[in-house]
Structure 1
């Protein structure tokens, strides 16, 4: 097959020929396994010829075959292959400025991902010991992360990506580090969307997940708490919630910096320099000392991630524009 109308005619002919083999005939049972293999082979040829939408259709047909054979894992994997091809078609069209009509390729990708996740959950349910609660499928969570990444990075659909990251985090409740990763991605999307209240809520959830069971605050957990601490301070200074709207746990976040004693660092995962700089930042914002804020921005810059630097710039601009 090659590019152009000839390739589509060639594809349709082969696709129909395989489909015809699945029709019931008198005294003859269709060979579903053979048809599944042939759909898969045709899909691979379409992939090589850079016809992702056709490859997606073939993988969906192969998945239907596997479903009729009650092969849930095989059906799920073919659906994932189809989802990836439909997504590739959508991304290719978007980059060329010619997205699919009504986003049909994206809709097909989302549908395939969702159906595959359901099949994996069903397969796990069958294998799980009866009478015990069924744990969420890590494969299903992985699909939400994969879809979220494609939506955010390849298609710049940040709001839809946030939904997928949130769903992944819900499926990862038994795996704290994986859940924290998904929540971190969700928080980044919320910041990108300007949903600072939502981001603050997500960082609070991350702190709760990290502190459950008195997990040691070292290694990855320490890094996560460090990110949460610094980002929550910046978000609180941007939002400027009234004392009546500020929950006790968030009030304590700022109190550490407003009333910290000299020579003490009440946050174990911050260096003394970081703590003192944040303390100065909180006090400068509370007193609306714009001159000190400008000097602190330069000093804090090297201690912050790119995301936190963006929040700091937002805070400085907000302070310069006057009271809310």
Structure 2
């Protein structure tokens, strides 16, 4: 997959795609319906995604001086990895700032979609809004496409037994410690991805060495211990593993910034600096503060045994 971070000055090979457009936070089932609509609209064209980085909501919050809790289900790396799995060959990760935010709907359609990306077709969710002041909608996009030479498909919101599939509903499920409910809406396990960073190395001293991932900028699932699946994305140990992870602030050791500490079963390699993807499969228990390290280690053994049983049956 080719990633482009501007709409200007693209080579000819990067233009002319049939694109799905939106934020695609989580790349859930509803998002994939939009992607599939783009795929079938122009079967001979490259499949592309038009999205924005940072998320427009983050940009406008900073502009207004607001501090909001992190809401993103995925960082840009995780989103790109997931989109690649769905056959996307051109990812247009457009820089969202004063220039894009200031374009009228007509200017956006002409300068970005038609002149910059040269899109053959655009697929969006039926509630998509764009342009300065969110003034553009499906009607204005269809009209612009007719003038500028690209087709438009509006995809209805995906309804399930639990209601409309949305990033908001998925965040609620994760905040409640219901990763399997989130999986049903996402169509895949909720994953936290990134580079393994150095921690305090307490897990190694306790017999449970962990791979640590930062959670900065991401929506926090319920704090606690999870059965997880781990994909090592690069390096000599690249592959798929099982494990148990603690997502939280480590209350045994004072107040700490939240992170994800994963013990990978039956693994002896070095993951520092490697990129991994950790899927939350089942919530085991809340974080707790124990009466000493012996009690903590005993509970960690129980967590490992429970996670192994769950993942063996998954």
How would you bin the TM-score normalised by the shorter chain? under 0.3
TM-score, with structure 2 as normaliser: 0.26
Higher relative contact order (CA 8 A, sep 6+): 2
Q: Work out which of the two has the higher radius of gyration on C-alpha atoms and give 1 or 2.
A: 1
| Structure whose residues are more often strand by fraction | 2
More helix by share: 1
TM-score (norm 1): 0.25
